[in-house]
Chain A
């Protein structure tokens, strides 16, 4: 589609993302303070040489929290995307290889699920799971975010399942999961790769939105979203850094992922048309 846009990989975005991820992964080395320590003498301190990004309304050091919390944000993004992808691949492949009537029912089912406001679904599921923790919120977001990938997988599988090698494998007694794993997945994986990247970023946004609204991670579990849940209080004291700094990291990460996702989207489109 974009004949004129460059197909160079987004080096800068990959670099920034790698830098942020590495810093979050090795946050112990970078942190200057204990991120969960409530330094009550230093609440709402503007960025200075001791507190590089200032402190929040509870007196925690934002610089340390960014790296420490980023790890949780990224982890939730990855885990929930993994869950979504597994559900999507199994569901999509089932639907794609099923007889037409079953396929129709399954597809109508996804359309109905797509029409449920997913934020609401998350709120209800979260309430069923009880207290929100890192794992439970990743599972909830993962459980609600698989539908669009499943639709694509189903279309791809429909096109692939008539191929001779699939029929051959079936004749030799290959089970559903064998065919799915050995023959189908390697073929459709490049096509859904960009959606997986986009899914990671959506999951991170979802987590931060939920934590911000007070229905995601509690304030003591540090993530970029739960850091922002102090924003309303920060607004009253005019401590802009509490709002701006975690947000900038959030936006930067999401932007890098979008660039990478868009690049993958273009390259996967090209591959499909050459076949």
Chain B
């Protein structure tokens, strides 16, 4: 009897380990395939990578000089050989040098990563809190005026393209009212000044949060709307619990798994949005850097940036899958259109930065 039980327990652990191993394999393969796609596509684009390295001088180079330069950067090999070479070096932690900055890619990125992490991280945390609070507020006043107004205003705001929202914010607060700086991460010479950094962060933060917040708030609102119609709420009410207790002690707990998975889905979209906002505010982060790298054919830089973005996106996609499948078994295997659509995030994941 006892042996039987422990065997069953063992099998359960084995299943669990297998499940996470599968997810890990999916993660590794995804990142690998992503690196192939980006490597191959970036080599397909016409344009001269030497321009990034040598600037205007590249166009005046002679035949022999060009060939020499290409050999030096390893660009004369077939794409496959280049890729294998790149992969081998990458495993040793060497991602090559940036053609534009003439420095190891990692050290260029390291300086910018913190800025993006700051912008993305703060907007995500604020969104995480605000989405739940607004969702609760809407359901608390469900179908009353406040809820209706909030829903309408939210829908309108979520329809504003991120770049235009940023433009309008710059126009109003920087150009007309002069109360916030319109570009950069800090005033030159004040890189250590926290207050100055915060002042520079305010407008980009508002742009990122406003353009993504409502989509997720609305999803939470709908989840909560289903939850408050469950039978146990009636029971709790009959027991004499107050509205507030039912909401905060029971209903919120009921939607927690859905809440976490919704917020995990939102991360790739916030990351993509951060990139657009960065470009508009000339904020020195990963987004401006990747735009530059793609334009200048700075291959090594592009690869690392894509892989960093890809790792974040793939990781959180898989995390939200795991939350859906394991923590909330009710959702598992219910292959319904609506749920797949929801699992894709904003706009069904069509365009995400």
Contacts and interface: CB of A to CB of B under 8 A. Distances in A.
> Which of A114, A195, A198, A213 is the most central at the interface, judged by chain B CB atoms within 10 Å of its CB?
A114
A213 B45 contact: no
A148 B339 CA distance: 12
B313 interface: yes
B341 interface: yes
**For chain A, what secondary structure do more than half of its interface residues adopt (helix, strand, loop), or is it mixed?**
helix
Interface residues of B, number: 64
A172 interface: no
A108 B310 contact: no
A205 interface: yes
A142 B171 CA distance: 32
Given A117-B306, A243-B167, A123 B351 contact: no
B159 A235 contact: no
Contact of A1 (B26, B225, B268): B225
B159 A118 contact: no
Contacts of A123: 291, 294-295
Contacts of B176: 238, 240
Interface in A201-215: 201-203, 205-206, 208-209, 212-213, 215
Contact of B348 (A155, A198, A206, A243): A198
Contacts of B46: 127-128, 130
Nearest to B343: A151
Contact of A118 (B30, B45, B353): B353
A121 B349 CA distance: 14
Contacts of B314: 112, 115
A243 to B, nearest CB: 5
B61 to A, nearest CB: 22
A149 interface: yes
Contacts of A215: 295
Range of interface residues on A (Cβ < 8 Å): 35 or more
A221 B64 CA distance: 40
A156 B337 contact: yes
A170 B107 CA distance: 60
B294 A120 contact: yes
Interface stretch (B35-43, B66-74, B237-245, B247-255): B35-43
Interface stretch (A23-31, A33-41, A45-53, A249-257): A249-257
A228 interface: yes
Interface string B330-353: 000001111011001001111111
Interface of A: 1-4, 108, 111-112, 114-121, 123-125, 127-128, 130, 141, 144-145, 147-149, 151-152, 155-156, 158-159, 191, 195, 198-199, 201-203, 205-206, 208-209, 212-213, 215, 228, 231, 235, 238, 240, 243-244, 247, 250-251, 254-255, 258-259, 268-269, 272
Interface of B: 26, 29-30, 33-34, 37-38, 41-42, 44-47, 142-143, 155-156, 158-164, 167-168, 170-171, 175-176, 222, 225-226, 229, 268, 271-272, 275-276, 279, 290-291, 294-295, 306, 309-310, 313-314, 317, 335-338, 340-341, 344, 347-353
16 contacts: A111-B317, A117-B309, A117-B353, A120-B309, A123-B291, A148-B344, A151-B340, A155-B340, A199-B350, A201-B159, A206-B350, A209-B161, A213-B163, A231-B167, A244-B168, A272-B336
Task: Give the 6 A-B CB pairs with smallest separation, nearest first.
Answer: A127-B45, A148-B348, A202-B350, A255-B159, A247-B164, A254-B159
